A and B are shown apart, each in its own frame.
Chain A
Amino acid sequence: MSSRRARSRQSTSSSRITDEQINDLVSKLQAVLPEAHIRGAERVSAAKVLQETCNYIRSLHREVDDLSERLTELLATTEASSAQAAIIRSLLM
């Protein structure tokens, strides 16, 4: 019985997420935010990073929406879309 408990204790300690790992993720998130180059290595609170991440995701969604619109307009007016697809395919090789 005691050996089983000891074994389970061992497995939970090896899978436990440390505060350090979470902090590491938060700073990685901070590094991809648009203001990262302004801040440099200065640490920001987790709540602030989360808030800015939410704002950034929203703005990226808006950018995708805008780019989709521009792509749609471009594809609608072009007559050689199949030729362009062939060009892009060759660029991907």
Chain B
Amino acid sequence: MPAPIRLRELIRTIRTARTQAEEREMIQKECAAIRSSFREEDNTYRCRNVAKLLYMHMLGYPAHFGQLECLKLIASQKFTDKRIGYLGAMLLLDERQDVHLLMTNCIKNDLNHSTQYVQGLALCTLGCMGSSEMCRDLAGEVEKLLKTSNSYLRKKAALCAVHVIRKVPELMEMFLPATKNLLSEKNHGVLHTSVVLLTEMCERSPDMLAHFRKLVPQLVRILKNLIMSGYSPEHDVSGISDPFLQVRILRLLRILGKNDDDSSEAMNDILAQVATNTETSKNVGNAILYETVLTIMDIKSESGLRVLAINILGRFLLNNDKNIRYVALTSLLKTVQTDHNAVQRHRSTIVDCLKDLDVSIKRRAMELSFALVNGNNIRGMMKELLYFLDSCDPEFKADCASGVFLAAEKYAPSKRWHIDTIMRVLTTAGSYVRDDSVPNLIQLITNSVEMHAYTVQRLYKALLDDISQQPLVQVASWCIGEYGDLLVSGQCEEEEPIQVTEDEVLDVLEGLLVSNLSTPVTRGYSLTAIMKLSTRFSSVNRIKKVVSIYGSSIDVELQQRAVEYNALFKKYDHMRPALLERMPIMEKTASNGPTEIVQTNGETEPSTVEAKHPPPVTQPTNQANDLLDLLGGNDVVPVIQTTIPTKPVSAGGELLDLLGDLSLSGGPAPAPAPSVPTSQPPFLLDGLTSQPLFNDIAAAGIPSMTAYNKNGLKIDFTFERANPNPNIAVITIHATNSTEAEMTDFVFQAAVPKTFQLQLLSPSSNVVPALNQGTVTQVIRVLNPQKQQLRMRIKLTYTHKGSAVQDLAEVNNFPPQSWQ
């Protein structure tokens, strides 16, 4: 058998491959050769073969068959073998496989080897990938080596101990005696690793922390020596002596000085010294300064020192090196809460960073800017931030808009300024604002009574320019609906009133209804606005016409509104003025405000930002509960239902909307409805007896029922309470089709009253075969914590004989066992 090819030869050969397939072929061939070589238990070439295997592993090919060979190499007496063997172990083995435990004995022997380089290999491997079991077995050996006088081994043992402690924290105690004189070492390697070990112990145990506080003077001395000592070629980096050690000491001091006055005082001087004497022309000096600043901010330092730290950060902001600027902004963000005034002094520099090219820097500058906004600087800051909003990348717009709203709400110097600012946001970044900004803005507008005329005028003008940004359009429609009379009468005081006729206004609103740019929600807003104008304008006939047209709209939401408004005109015209009169001022609840911007990564997409915002907490009043709980309100006083102020209807529009775009992100309804007293229609339980007509075997005694049966489509519900949670009812729908043509694109949707939660799993298929030849099933889980009467509204869509069919139905005949 010829000798296996050498490693470099293999590498060279593989690199000549011109295609992925060619490479794979070479690799497979070589792997086969290696495998047979392994089978022959060839000691001579095992090392070479494993090395080749490691190369192929790096290219992405499987190499698990080499794991045991690594162990054999480790057990060999040749140093070359051990070197490759341990490398292989670190690359191919991990603690999930039991194989790795076979290493333990080898490592133990090697830890006691006569050659320090072998001991070093063992320490390195253990410290890199030792599992908890291995660490437990070998901790004693590591501890022994920690006490050796050989600095080469001692430093490795210290880091190995760190790993052991991370894996098995209970073993920390056993290393305590060995730490006694670690810091009196002269060797920098040992010093550095010892400081790392001490840091790890102090972080994990408050007792250790208290115990090691006495080391502060010694640490201070070492640090001082490093700074004051002359040039030491061995540890010098750009004129600074052992920056790595300096940084680690500073970090340990931070942990020791936190919450401890005495320790903090003891390190005050040295921190000031480091802060003022460190050379800042290169990255290495700034790294030390950075660590120093972090330490100063975390311990109980005196105010002078804190100001010094913040000034260092301020200087960092002016540094040409963008890395330094980035680091400065991050640190300032952490300190802005506690040292607000000091950070304020650097506000202009921070605002300049908004124009930086780097995305991460821009994001941090934005977050910091918002944190710095206060009553004094609101006008200036807002100008900068709005300018930023105009020109920034889309990924920032949502957060920036939220931040602007929040800041405006807190510090607006005047109502007009507030409204102007919000309008500016809506016109420049209107598509990126969060959904709840629409109801919030509406509420703000209603509350600023004296600004109504001004607001509606500005909004009208904005609509004339651009109808693509939905939040803006929705707010504008609502306002025009409410205050259209002010618009037409030209009553604006704040600015030059514009001349506008009723017809022009109605033109604009109707334009929204037909425009492709308008979402169904927006259309709902504009239809309602048109309706409201019937009591404010005189062109009632035109409005009646529009409303009746939409009575046959395909969009069921619009259709319903139109039909109900029609009914208002016909049967309930005497109630119309009262129903459509001006909205009362809405009470602002604390939960309505936009939430704080979440600090997010600079690199995540905007969609994850949205997901991170918790849904606004809703506090429905009792009366609102009654209103929104209305079920089966179809035939009972529909008028009252629709004149619930459009705020909840349309704000929750997309949630309440069973039609059109159903957002799959479930969430509780936003914004509560203001209370409009209404009489709750009495709800009668359909005659349900507790006697099931027939028992479904699958259900735990809960009878099944037919929920829907029309046009050949029959939907049965069967129930289960298999779920351990008694509040969850599991309903399986069974859809069958008795017509001669199959129903395709079948989609089943359901809605439940607010006190329930619904979860719809995937259907078995979306084709219901003809002539009852098959069933489509789908599972619904209904959470009913309040054990209320289960009611459901279902919507069915499917294609039958080439035409699309849609139907809405109500399901009230749930057996009591399904929800009790």
Same complex: no
